[in-house]
A and B are shown apart, each in its own frame.
Chain A
Amino acid sequence: MGFMLTSDEHEQLTRDLDELLANAEARNVLLCDRGGNVIVSCGDSELENMDMVSALVAGSFAATKQLALVLGEQEFTAVFHQGAKISIFISGVGEEVLLLALFSDETNAGLVKMYALTACRKFISLFRDIMSREQIKIDDPTQSFKLTTGPIFQE
């Protein structure tokens, strides 16, 4: 199990994210799995901490899902955190993925939501294909993985 993105799939996802970024006038958009791993991210490169953002977003989305269950909802499909300068829109993409858009106070939240939800529908079907594909074909030269020697972490 896992997400194995081919270069083509990565390009496709990046293109769609870039489009969303431009249309919604967001600062950053990213796709991560529900365990908090970044799959693809686009936008403002100042934000280097995308690993941490996605870990926290996955955690908070999952907590919100529990809350929904307690209230008799299946899931809050989309969550919105509003800040003074930066806001976040998070939406589930199928069972395994989250879409996240960071945008500034100059952007209209409704616009972000509309474009994000449109993009979501596209991502759902893309990820359905990615997840159902068994393995990446062997003619991909990067297919075989080799471990490097020596200790992994040093003090």
Chain B
Amino acid sequence: MAVVNYAKKEIQFKIVYYGCGLCGKTTNLQKVHESVPAKAKGNLTSLATSQDRTLFFDFLPLQTMSIEGFITKFQMYTVPGQVKYNSTRRLVLRNCDGVVFCVDSQVDKTQENLESWENLKENLELQKDNLDEMPRVLQYNKQDLPNVAPKEYLDYVLNNKETRIPTFMASAFKGEGVIETLNAVAKLVLQDFIDKH
């Protein structure tokens, strides 16, 4: 849920990267942090295990001038993908305004992606949100690997409703498709905010 401050002329949104373990959520945020100009970003904070797996969340504050007369802040988070950290995922999802669902496109990860997708739906429902109404994009990540499933197959599994979710092919590792994904979700979040106000 957006926080609007008329006195400071500032609007804040929260965007969460979701997806199964090792699908590349943290890598996305790292590449965003590397790519955007210094004046648009704060520090990247990662609460991780010693093996670089996300334990609590990664956090990166971004700032733009996307709404006339207001500083627009996007607070970017990743969830921990490992199944056992579900209660932490719920905490991170709290008050979120938009979701990037990051997919590990390797063929043998289909089941894990699907479980994480269902888990996202459940957790949103618990906080009285609905994935179908939430600004959201799909990122088919790890396209640089040889064993990726075809886009049609991933769509068939994850994006099979009448209203298609915007999808982005990416290799977060190489930094490809990362900013496109970010811009798309930010745009949806802004449009959703404008529509509601």
Q: B42 — which chain A residues lie within 8 A by C-beta?
A: 49, 51-52
Q: Is the interface of B mostly helix, strand, loop or mixed?
A: mixed
Q: Answer whether residue B187 sits at the interface, using C-beta atoms and an 8 A cutoff.
A: yes
Name B14's contact: one of A37, A66, A154, A155 (CB within 8 Å).
A37
Number of interface residues of A (CB under 8 A): 43
Q: A33 — which chain B residues lie within 8 A by C-beta?
A: 1, 3, 95
The CA-CA distance from A51 to B35 in the complex, in Å, is 20
Q: B9 — which chain A residues lie within 8 A by C-beta?
A: 142
Number of interface residues of B (CB under 8 A): 53
Contact call B61/A153, Cβ cutoff below 8 A: no
Contact call A5/B190, Cβ cutoff below 8 A: no
The CA-CA distance from A144 to B179 in the complex, in Å, is 28
Q: Answer whether residue A68 sits at the interface, using C-beta atoms and an 8 A cutoff.
A: no
Q: List 27 A-B contacts (CB under 8 A).
A: A2-B4, A4-B4, A4-B6, A5-B3, A5-B6, A10-B6, A11-B7, A36-B14, A36-B77, A37-B14, A38-B3, A39-B5, A51-B42, A51-B61, A59-B47, A59-B57, A62-B91, A66-B87, A144-B197, A145-B70, A145-B194, A145-B197, A147-B66, A151-B183, A152-B183, A152-B190, A155-B36
Interface residues, chain B, CB within 8 Å of chain A? 1-9, 11-12, 14, 32, 35-37, 40, 42-43, 45, 47, 56-57, 59, 61-62, 64-70, 73, 75, 77, 87-88, 91-92, 94-96, 179, 182-183, 186-187, 190-191, 193-194, 197
Knowing that A40-B5, A56-B47, A148-B66 touch, tell me 16 more A-B residue pairs with CB under 8 angstroms: A1-B1, A2-B4, A6-B6, A7-B6, A33-B3, A35-B1, A36-B75, A37-B95, A38-B12, A58-B94, A59-B91, A146-B194, A148-B67, A152-B66, A153-B183, A154-B37
